[in-house]
Structure 1
Amino acid sequence: MAYVGKEVPPNSIGRDTLADIVKHYEENGARPRLRKKHSLPRPPARFISPEDINRVVDFIKHYAEDNAIMLPGRQPGHKDWHVKLLPNHVSKASVWRLYVKSAKELVTLSSNPLQPGPMYFLTPRKCGLFGVSCEGLQKQVNYLIDEGMSSTKGSNEVISYMHHFFGNFGVGETEVDLHCDNCSGQNKNNFMLWYLAWRVGHKLHDKIEIHFLIAGHTKFSPDCGFGLIKQAYMKTRVNTLADIAEVVENSSPVSHLNIPQLVGTAEGKVLVQTFDWQQHLTRHFRRLPQIKSYQHFSFEAKRPGVVLAKSHRGCTTCRISATAPTEQICPCRRSSCPGPTWTEN
């Protein structure tokens, strides 16, 4: 066969293509064939629509919420400790078969017979977690903060929880060593240091030392309790605040390390009061200069209103006056003095 003066090898084109060429020649003559304007390329044979992609992603997210295992903090070989792992007895093929079956039956794994409505999964109720680990007792008290009780964990909340811990879980200790991270909004701020000075000024403790971990080395004993709670949480169906408290209590069945402490109930009853410590302490103390440059602070009852600060263990101690010029921490100097009245936040 010849085409425009050139021999065409046999079997070089298919029958359909040849038929299209002949039809175009009969209708348009010897003109080149042009593609239609605004024509879209054909999708590949294994094309997946955006709706199917979103459906698969939602399935994986819901399956991970119920079955995945969280890492207990940073682990070697995992740069991101937020990664979620499949259990050992689950394979990727079994997850795929489960997805195919659920797609055929039109069933979502995130369904719950106690679910009050579809908004339950779109806007879940938040519960904060604040842990205080006591190495002497080998216990960790975990304050469960429902969003109806408090929406933040600022200095007022942190000081109120610490005050509750000393009053309800203390064992009559006279000296305390505290270790905290460098979070300035919660721990490393003037209000927290003023509160510790307030405690030794009222002789609630004879001596308090607080040490802030340097950046990059902020893993310490509370992370052990948090890791156990995360592992238990990912394996348990949680619907209410009481369920979360049960997860915390059952997260360490052998050592009984974790102790749950509700800040408030689901009905709105307050169990741990939050006070406006900022307003109360500001009237009696002055701001401490350059507190971010120091890592160690010490307070003693025999030196009320004085803060001893160090940038590291081997350096010279800096003596700083914490009280306001016209104020005293406790004018009557009695350990039973309740101090000025503060208002609930």
Structure 2
Amino acid sequence: MKNGCDRPVYKLGILGSSNIAVPAILEPARFVEKVQITAIANRTLVKAAKLAEAYQIPYVTGSLEELLELGDLDGVYIALSNELHTEWAIRALNAGKHVLVEKPMCLHAQEAERLRLVKDSSAAPKLAEGLMIAYHPWQQALKSIVGSGQFGPLHRIRTRISVPAKDRYAGNYRSVKAKGGGAFTDLGCYWLQFLQTLVGLQPSEIKAQSAFDGPDGCDWTFQAALQYKNGLEAECLTSFELPFRASHTLYFGQTVLTVPDFFRPVKGFYKIKIRHDLPDNRSTLCEFEPMNYYVNQLNAFAEIMSGQRAEMLEATWERLNIQSLIMAEAQQHRVYL
């Protein structure tokens, strides 16, 4: 389908009516002319019907299979529970639909291999993981700063991503091990994607630990560190217990840079800043115009569907592999309190 300006408009359907569907696809679609949300499916039909009414979605069904059979859909967004992501991504690809699947795309290596086999077919539609921070220019700007050497060598990166859960994750997938529960699976992917962009994911040593004392034996606080051959150390703390924080701190030979509150653009159109963090220099080095991560992501998905942007699946497989190695390391070095 094309709009009046002769630009392609992609019709998308939504599989699932979880809370993430509103900020990740329904609200952003208001700002992305290249896509139209034309169908939604959920096993509990009333949930899908409420969203369809609120967002004027013309087709609603209680059958996920039925949605995939629609002939005029170009792609789907998968907002199902974590353990269903791979299964329904494969079904959608086999049905000829492009797929944007909410992170994590896969929970383990076996699922990743199943997706690889489908994507090895040259006729397979496009596939992308909904890791929304990857589609903002601040990461590439920071990579350019590191590469320029203007502040000397980068020797340490410290990241903290903590989102206090209290009781709101009770019964949620984050509290169920088999559904990818735990702080690191939910939050550590943002750290790994950031490192992958900035310095790569080829560490010479991996360290990780957790008490795994959350519900169902999930990790409620998790510490990980990667050591690189050039001496760079990258550390991360993810937690569902500590006060909210989402920040990166980079230690160079001549300065310290921070990216404070880098999650903020998930809530709307907000600025991101890269700042100096020295006692005598708290100035802003870079400031980006207000953006919304999910609007950026939906625009990027439209470009992926059209072939203007690469899928970057090898990067996804690499992240999943490193994440599995980190989790295995933490299991071997479980902290008993």
What range is the shorter-chain TM-score in?
under 0.3
Q: Greater Rg, structure 1 or structure 2?
A: 1
From the two aligned structures, give the one with the greater helix fraction: 2
Q: What TM-score do the two structures reach when normalised by structure 1? A: 0.26
From the two aligned structures, give the one with the greater strand fraction: 2
